[in-house]
Amino acid sequence: MEKFSFKNQLENLVRNPETHSYLLAVSGGADSMVLASLFKGLGLNFQIAHINYKLRGEDSDLDQKTVQDFCEKNHIRFHLYEVSEKDNKPENSIQLWAREIRYRFFREIQEQENLEFLVTAHHLNDQLETFIINLSKASGISGLSGIPANKNKIIRPLLNFSKKEIYGYAEENRIDFREDLSNKKSDYLRNKIRNEIAPKLLEINEHFLENFRKSSSYLNQTRDFVEKRIEEIENKLTVFNSEHKILSKEKLGQESAFVQFEILKKYGFDKEEEISKIFTAENGSSFFSKDYQLMISRDELIFISKNQRQETKDEIILVENFDFSEIQMDISLEDTIENIDGINNSFEWDFDAAKLQFPLRLRKQQDGDEFYPADFSGKKKVSKFFRDEKLSILARPKIWILCDSYNSVLGIIPLRQDRRYASDEKTQSILKIFNEKKK
């Protein structure tokens, strides 16, 4: 392992690396201290972050000191997070807990310091361990491809270097580092693979790790090819892709189980039993993943990002009261309600003010809502009215219900007024509510 070979790996991940800024995650171990030394030697713009989990007493503090001393000696900005009681350390799942803490801390520092890339010191041996873990989980080609070298602005330039190469570089360049003795314990799955399984594989074939390095490269190329092909298929199935992604349910259902899984997995739906339910679910059904809501609308699958949802008021007071000394009061909704695609948003309703119970308000549909639609006989449930109007699932949440202080429905905006409250030849005071369709 040499500085120039590391630079080549870095340039494969980031074009013109000297023009970017980085946050290095440094634990004090050989791999991360070598990473920091290489970045320093290349004169790159970087800062360092360290987490003291307080799990190993004095050893944890000595790890912190090793990293801190390196930063002070080399005039590198140092960021420290010390775990305390407020972090609520669990009895189990320590690794997951620690991972959540460090990545939250790293993101905060990146945002505060405007640092473009997070850099971690994962190496080839870590990649082998991950491969074996994912092999036991039947995680598919994505899992077998292992730790990505560059994803979501997280880069791992040491992935092609073995632990032996990294230790050799540290010794040759007299780089101080600390050994984490807890890694010698086989109490976690990764440690068990690291201490018991991986050494046996390396004993069987002295070229095993080098062959794995090549195999890992082939797997990554295969994954990239498959992902490109899946994207091409998804584009053909896409009905609409603006505010929300909408796929043809029928066409996706005709694809292989593999294609269905790969596409739905992108939106967080990766359980076989859940995927099966998606294709048999009734119209109007919804499924939820961490980041998406999937809505079934006839022959469409609608993916709504939770991050892109706009907060909408549940209720708007429209008219507090009516001055009956006036013959007419006009209320425009042009700046109050959202226009709805595919619906004529212009309307003009005249109400007999004497028939209304103020204040009037706008709210969303509620169970049991019913009204007497103009130009129809009898009454109708609002839910049935929506179905009869063939309103899409995406349009319905945008519809406002106009109601009075008794919660009686006065109209469904912008579709239909309740005829009971409309003005007539006997009306003396008119409340006009209208909206002009925006071009």
Largest CA distance in the chain: 100
Which residue ranges make up the annotated binding site for ATP?
27-32
- Residue 72 DSSP one-character state: H
How far, in Å, CA of 38 to CA of 59, rounded? 25
- The token pair that represents 111 in the structure block: 């945002």
Tell me if residue 142 falls in helix, strand or coil.
helix
Strands (E), 33-186: 45-52, 78-82, 117-119, 150-151, 154-155
- The token pair that represents 282 in the structure block: 């009734």
> Are the C-beta atoms of 220 and 213 separated by less than 8 Å?
no
Which residue ranges make up the annotated binding site?
27-32
Closest CA to 325 of 427, 210, 397, 429: 429
How far, in Å, CA of 205 to CA of 211, rounded? 9
Tell me if residue 135 falls in helix, strand or coil.
helix
> At residue 407, what are phi and psi to the nearest 5 degrees?
70, 20
Tell me if residue 230 falls in helix, strand or coil.
helix
